[in-house]
Structure formats: structure tokens, C-alpha cells
Amino acid sequence: MDMLRIIRTIATTWLLCMVVLCNVVVAQMGHILDAVGPVNQSMAGAGIALPLDATSALHWNPASISWLNRSEIGFGFAAFGSEVDLSSQVQQDAFGPGAPPMALSGRTKSDNDINPIPTMGFVCHSPEGPVTFGLGGFAIGGFGVNYPGDPSNPILTPQPAQGGMGFGPIYSQFQLMQFAPTVSVKVSDSFSVGLAPTVNWATLAMDPFAAAIPNPDSTYAPATHADVAWGLGFQAGMMYQHCSGLSLGVLYKSPQWFQEFKFNSYDQLGSPRWFQFNMDYPAIFGVGLGWQGSNRWSLATDVKYVDYKNTDGFNAWGFWPSGAVRGFGWNSIWVVSTGVQYQWSPRLALRCGYMFNENPISSSVAFFNATAPGIIQHHLSAGFTLAMKGGWDFDTAFHHGFANQISGPWYGPNAIPNTAATSRLATYTLSVGLRKRF
């Protein structure tokens, strides 16, 4: 079997695995993954103006694929783990005289497992002209929690009509994949432009589903029969490379416009119910600087703006008059990431990076985000690439999202004094990958 057939077989298998294996992700920049693939992960997501591999170039700047040294196909796999817990406090008489008759408080850990995140990138340089083609496929975001019912934690006690004061067990699962056929053109020896239409696949499940009108007994119905929605968008980029080794990149990712999620559910008597919810992916604007020095060092710094505030599903919060929750109520955020690479030897490249992002969730909406606590702000990454025979590279990276927590009052529909709900999150990721340059 020749090399082209081997690569084609691996790529086909990996694309299937991407759909089958991608599971719950509690992501980094809100619900957006901070990096794709082990190389980009080891640089803390920086790379708009410093393309180091096909996967990250395709994701963060379509114009940058023109600056890869050779054609390349790469596959990555990440094991993602998280520590998530939810605590709540309700003081005596917070809901009225005798409700509750004493102060209550508790803390519960989410039953999250280690989850796989596959990535794939393919870039082919045209030997006869300035055009470079590519195809990327990667998980780009998600969230998920799995809290059991807990009689000692007020927010996880049964819903009021069922004898408690909370929501009962809380479960969420959102997965988001993106496929990006890409073209980049070198307009001159130092400037390129790139464009990629993006096709997205997402699935969503929640219990209880507070964005639906409550049942006649005022309970919220489940949306555990997960629905799939497809979305479309585009991304465009530019990159300028100076002979000194300095480079400048500009990225724009449009909003990813999704179909509505439609759920089959039931009311408190078991009668069928149907409801729907619209949740898009935010627009991202980014600028990056890169430098490749002659003394083995390479540096990258990116600044990104993620526009949650103008994204359906994330922009509104609070309750509709019907009692349904309007949305997550996230703020738009700025993100700064910096990565450095040192070429230790011809075969070994070492990397590390740091990223900071603003928290999209303010304390005023902490109560509405128990199902999606995207609150990580500080990230540290490190990794390396080992060059092997035949143009193959082995990549690995480790990432840690440092623990953060956010706390705010309960609502019903206005803020309820003497109550609090607190989410805490920390994340860990181990990534490995294999690339073939040809």
C-alpha cells in the first residue's frame, strides 16, 4: 500500500472518529476551546501569525497555511479532564417566613469523566502556483456538567412542586465540531490572504431545561433527548511576513449560525411536549504577531475578541414573562495568549505558553450558568515535537486551566437576598499527535 493510500485511510477513519468520539467538553474561553491540536495547545493557542502545523494554521488564520514549509497532514487526540463543583447557600426565611426554617448549605462535585477530543488538519501546497489548499476538522467548543441530586445542597434538591427548593439533578452536554475547507493565496512574496467556509455540527442536551416554558405545575421539563443542529459560517485572514522574521496576522471568524435545537420532552404527567432553543457560536476577531529568529527561538502573541454579547443564546438573561429563562447572559471578552518555541536540536522542539481571558460570566448571572460554568481565566501549557524518520513528527502537550469560581444570588424572577449559588472549575488536558510532512 503506498503512502497516499495510507494517509487517505487514516484520514477517513479519523473523520469518523471525530464525530463518534467527541464528547462533553468544559471549554476554556467561555465555551470555546483555547487551542486545537497538541502543537497549538503547547503554545497556549497563540498562532495567528506563526503557523507551526497544519491544524492550528487552518483554525486560527486561513491565510497562514501559505507559510507552512511543506504539505502536511496531521492527526491529534486530547484527553480532557475537569474538576467541577456546585455549592449553594440559603439563609433562614430567604423565601418567606419558615422557608426554609433554618440556614442550609452544601457542595456537590460533578460526575465528569475523561473525554476524548480528536483533531485533523491537511494542507497541500500547489507546486505550480501561489494557491494553497487545506481541510480542517476539529472540536472547537462545548460544555457539560453532571450533578446528582443532593438533599444537603439546596440548589440540587427537587424542584418546588416536588417538595424541594432547587432544580434536582442538573445535567448538560453540548458538543461542537467544525469542518473548514480552506484556500490561501500568496498575493506577493510577503503577503497572503485566506478564506474558509465553515460547516458546523452540534448536539445539545439539558436537564432540567429552564429555557422552556414551565409545566403546569411550574416544574421545568427535561431535554435529555439530545438534538443535533447544523451551522454555517466563514473565516477569513491575512498574513504579512517580513524578511526579518517578523510576521503579522489578522483573523475574522464570523458567527456560526445554527439551526434551532428542537427537543422531544414531556410534562409532569408524562404527556408529550416539544420546545426549541437557538444557540449560535460567537464571532471572533484576532490580531497576532510572530517572530522566527535565527537563534532557534520563535515567539507568538495573539489578541482575540470573542463577541458573546451579540450571540443568540448567550446575549440575554433573566426570565421571560412565561417563566422560561432567556439565555446565559454572557459578556464579550478579550483574550491574550503568548507562546514560545525553542529548537533544542534538529529533532526536538520545546514549547510553552500562557493565556489569559476575561470571564464572560458575571456574578449577577452565576445562578443561570450552573449548567455551563465557562469561567477559566488563566491557562498554562507546555509540550514538544520530536522529528522522526520519513518526515513524521510526534507532538505532545499538557495544559492546565487554573481553578476559578463565581458566585451570585438565586433568582425567582428577581434576585433573592440571602441566597448564593457558586460554581468552581479547573481543567486538565493531555494532547498527542502525529504529523506527516511531504
Assess if residue 349 is contained within a domain.
yes
Unique residue bearing C-alpha cell 475574522: 252
Q: Which residues contact 425 (CB under 8 A, 6 or more apart)?
A: 26, 82, 83, 84, 373, 374, 375, 376, 401, 403, 404, 405
In a domain, 295, yes or no: yes
| Average pLDDT for 258-278 | 94
Q: Is 367:409 a contact under the CB 8 Å cutoff?
A: yes
| pLDDT, tens only, 116-153 | 889 999 999 877 789 999 999 999 998 899 999 999 99
* Kind and range of the H or E run holding 3: helix 3-21
DSSP of 226-254, one letter per residue?
EEEEEEEEEEEEEEEE-TTSEEEEEEEE-
Q: Three cell numbers at 195? A: 478564506
Residue 390 has a CB neighbour count (10 Å cut-off) of 8
CB 86 within 8 A of CB 421: yes
Q: What is the pTM of this model?
A: 0.92
Task: Determine the Cα–Cα distance for residues 285 and 399; give it in Å rounded to an integer.
Answer: 24
8-17, 236-245, 281-290: which has the highest mean pLDDT? 281-290
Specify the pLDDT at position 116. Answer: 87
The C-alpha cell of 162 is what?
A: 416536588
Q: Using one digit for the tens of pLDDT, what is the confidence trace for 148-201?
A: 999 999 999 999 989 899 999 999 999 999 999 999 999 999 999 999 999 999
Task: Answer yes or no: is 96 within a domain.
Answer: no
Instruction: Take residue 109 and report the three cell numbers written for it.
Output: 462535585
Please write the tens of the pLDDT for every residue from 396-423.
999 999 999 999 999 988 899 999 999 9
Locus of grid cell 449553594: 88
Distance CA 40, CA 197 (A): 21
Q: Is the pLDDT of residue 25 over 80?
A: no
| Distance spanning both ends of the chain, measured CA to CA | 17
The Cα 165–Cα 293 span in angstroms is 61
SS3 sequence of 58-119:
HHHCHHHHHHCCCCEEEEEEEEEEEEEEEEEEECCCCCCCCCCCCCEEEEEECCCCCEEEEE
Which amino acid is residue 233, in one-letter code? G
CA proximity to 84, closest of 361, 368, 427, 380? 427
Domain count, the chain: 1
Residue 15: inside a domain: yes
Cα angle at 285 between 358 and 72, to 5 degrees?
A: 110
- Compute the Cα dihedral for 14, 20, 24, 27 and give only its sign: positive
For position 378, which CATH number holds? 2.40.160.60
| Rounded alpha-carbon distances, angstroms, from residue 220 to 224, 325, 361 | 12, 10, 23
- CA dihedral for 23, 227, 370, 143, sign (positive or negative): positive
Whether residue 99 is contained in a domain is answered as no
- Residue 254 confidence (pLDDT): 98
Q: pLDDT tens for residues 320-377?
A: 999 999 999 999 999 999 999 999 999 999 999 999 999 999 999 999 999 889 999 9
Rounded to whole angstroms, the Cα distance separating 220 from 159 reads 8
- Report CA-CA distances (Å) from 85 to 24, 339, 370, 386: 16, 30, 9, 37
- pLDDT number for residue 295: 82
For residue 427, give the C-alpha cell. 481543567
Mean pLDDT for the chain overall: 91
pLDDT of res. 5: 53
> What pLDDT, on a 0 to 100 scale, did the predictor assign at position 4?
52
Distance CA 345, CA 253 (A): 36
Mean pLDDT of the region 284-297: 92
431 falls within a domain: yes
In a domain, 1, yes or no: no
- Domain of residue 76 covers 11-88+109-151+167-437
| CA neighbor of 205 nearest in space, from 24, 49, 357 | 24
Cell of 63: 491565510
* Of 256, 247, 392, 391, the residue nearest 312 (C-alpha): 256
**pLDDT for residue 16:** 43
Scan for cell 495573539, then name that residue.
302
Nearest to 159 by CA among 209, 98, 225: 209
Grid look-up 460554568 returns 373
104 lies in a domain? Answer: no
Of 48, 389, 38, 70, nearest to 238 by C-alpha is: 48
CA distances from 364 to 149, 153, 284, 367, 369 (A): 24, 20, 24, 8, 10
- The alpha carbon of residue 113 and the mean position of all alpha carbons in its chain are separated, in whole angstroms, by 17
